[in-house]
Amino acid sequence: MPGRGWALGAAAALVAVCTAACGISGGSASVAGKKTLTIGVKQDQPGLGLKQSNGTFQGFDVDVATYIAHKLGAKHVNFTAITSAQRETWLQQGKVDMVVATYSITPARKQKVTFGGPYYVAHQDTLTRAGDSAIHNVHDLKGKTLCNAKGSNSFNRVATEKSIAAIGVPGDSYSDCVKKLEAGQVEAVSTDDLILAGFAAETNGQLKMVNQPFSDEKYGVGIKLGDIEGCEEINKAITDMYQDGTAAKLLHKWFDASGLAVNTNVPQFEGCG
């Protein structure tokens, strides 16, 4: 895996790691006015959000979050590990100010969270064991055991939106799903290609991506519902990130080893209203 991210390294003096119990700080109601930001990131997704033995976090999402926080004017950034199932509730409860954790923007989630971005548009794909010759695309998942990660919408896209009768096997997280795939407890894992690429790059060829994407996954920056000012400032920061070349550098840094073709054009924003 690559070393610490560019943005994380540049802001190392400003970044502190907190536990899951830490709360948000700063006197402003909007993330745009806070001098200290607590940001939820994943701790078990290689290339995106991975907790290191020294307690720090590294990955594309961590670097993006650091860049955005700097642009918002934050002087201190606390990263805390968050699961897919915790994202909405932690924002609502004020345990975090922002969530940058492979957080796909969906109509249902927009009822509970305001989203800046997207900062990247991923595509759902499928991961299998390298020797599996039976799964070539999402339709081949019919009758196959497919991991269903807690708090994620990916299994629903296969089983409900695509009406494919896959057999769901519960997983606590995508790292748990990948372990089940390696152990032969499931036949496939299906979720965003950036997530799968990070795991595939760590397995020394034992796992492979099918490379047949079938959806657009708009990764948003989750903030408290109604924070329009914060959303607009986040969108300005994301635009700067692509225009100054930082986004391209980070995408190539974290995902070139996986062979995934990344898009370095600024995504079309959802709007903050």
pTM: predicted TM-score of the whole model, two decimal places: 0.81
pLDDT at 28: 57
Q: Above 80 in pLDDT, residue 16?
A: no
What confidence category does residue 22 fall into, taking pLDDT thresholds of 50, 70 and 90?
very low
pLDDT at 12: 40
pLDDT at 204: 79
Helical pair 174-182 and 193-201, crossing angle rounded to 10 deg: 50
* Number of alpha carbons in the 13 Å side-chain half-sphere of residue 128: 18
pLDDT at 36: 97
Distance CA 27, CA 229 (A): 15
Strands 49-51 and 124-129: unpaired
What confidence category does residue 3 fall into, taking pLDDT thresholds of 50, 70 and 90?
very low
Q: Above 70 in pLDDT, residue 13?
A: no
Q: Above 90 in pLDDT, residue 164?
A: yes
pLDDT at 18: 44
Map residue 130 onto helix, strand or coil.
Answer: coil
pLDDT tens-digit profile of 237-266? 999 999 999 999 999 999 887 778 889 999
pLDDT at 118: 98
Average pLDDT of the chain to the nearest whole number: 89
pLDDT at 261: 82
Q: Above 90 in pLDDT, residue 10?
A: no
What confidence category does residue 6 fall into, taking pLDDT thresholds of 50, 70 and 90?
very low
Q: Above 50 in pLDDT, residue 148?
A: yes
pLDDT tens-digit profile of 195-249? 999 898 888 789 999 989 998 999 999 999 999 999 999 999 999 999 999 999 9
pLDDT tens-digit profile of 46-99? 999 999 999 999 999 999 999 999 999 999 999 999 998 899 999 999 999 999
Distance CA 32, CA 169 (A): 41
Quick one: fold of 6-119+219-258? D-Maltodextrin-Binding Protein; domain 2 (3.40.190)
Side chain identity, residue 225:
L
Cβ neighbors of 261 (< 8 A, separation 6 or more) are none
* Number of alpha carbons in the 13 Å side-chain half-sphere of residue 87: 27
Query: For the chain, where do the domains classified as CATH 3.40.190.10 start and end?
Result: 6-119+219-258, 124-209
Average pLDDT for 29-51:
95
Of residues 184 and 152, more confidence is placed in 184
Q: Give ∠ CA 65-57-233 in degrees, rounded to 5.
A: 10
Q: Above 90 in pLDDT, residue 23?
A: no
Residue showing tokens 């390294």: 9
Side chain identity, residue 71:
K
Q: Give ∠ CA 102-156-165 in degrees, rounded to 5.
A: 140
124-209 maps to CATH 3.40.190.10: yes
Q: Which of 73, 53, 64, 74 is nearest to 222 (CA)?
A: 64
Top-confidence range, 37-41, 132-136, 257-261? 37-41
Q: Above 70 in pLDDT, residue 11?
A: no
